[in-house]
Structure 1
Amino acid sequence: MNRTKKIIYWIATIWLSLGMLSTGIVQLLKMEQDVDRMHELNYPIYLLTLLGVWKILGVIAVLIPKFPILKEWAYAGFFFAMSGAAFSHLASGSPIREIFPSLLLLVLTVVSWYLRPADRKVAVIN
């Protein structure tokens, strides 16, 4: 992996991790704004707890060395959570300012996953 790709990978991964960690903590705290938004989207409030725990565990999985299969699951979870959030906001008619954070985290997920170093990938055996 060349130096530029490695720098882009770490920038994307750090921003992704900070975004997922901060939103995971906010979801675990069940902030009033998030609870209201879950009601507007017709989702159960306990989903905040699930998403918060999964995001924090996903950040740990993405940042720790080794465990490439676990990393794949974490990236997949981030992708599904953020694409689901973006779609939910779009379907409910949310303004773009409410959709943008989900889309940004979705893009960071894809960039981080795509540019991850070889030692963070699942080895393919032929």
Structure 2
Amino acid sequence: PALFETRRTVGPVGLGSVKARPVTADAFRVEARAGRNQTPVIAIKPGLIITFREDAALPVLDQCLQADPEADILKAAVVERHGRNGNIGKGFVRGIGLKRGAIASSIGHDCHNITVVGA
């Protein structure tokens, strides 16, 4: 016999809440604009919660802008996760410090979409 009554088990919070459509590598391509050498970059500064806009010349491969990990510029994307429209916002960010690989999270203050940053 149990000494006290147990509570029912609660399932993991958020399980099954990601309803994003399947995403391929092509979805993260950022087309280079002809005649444009500077690209906007979100700059993260240590110790600050605000970001800044910078412009940078990025490498181009097959008419697509590439991350430049040596300059601490990574590709960033936000993937809509609620199954509503499948939007993917793409750009570049400086100040993460990642040299290879990628990180992703579905925890975000405003909408909890999937944020991905990679070298």
Question: If the length of structure 1 is used for normalisation, what is the TM-score?
Answer: 0.24
More strand by share: 2
Q: Decide which structure has the larger Cα Rg and report it.
A: 2
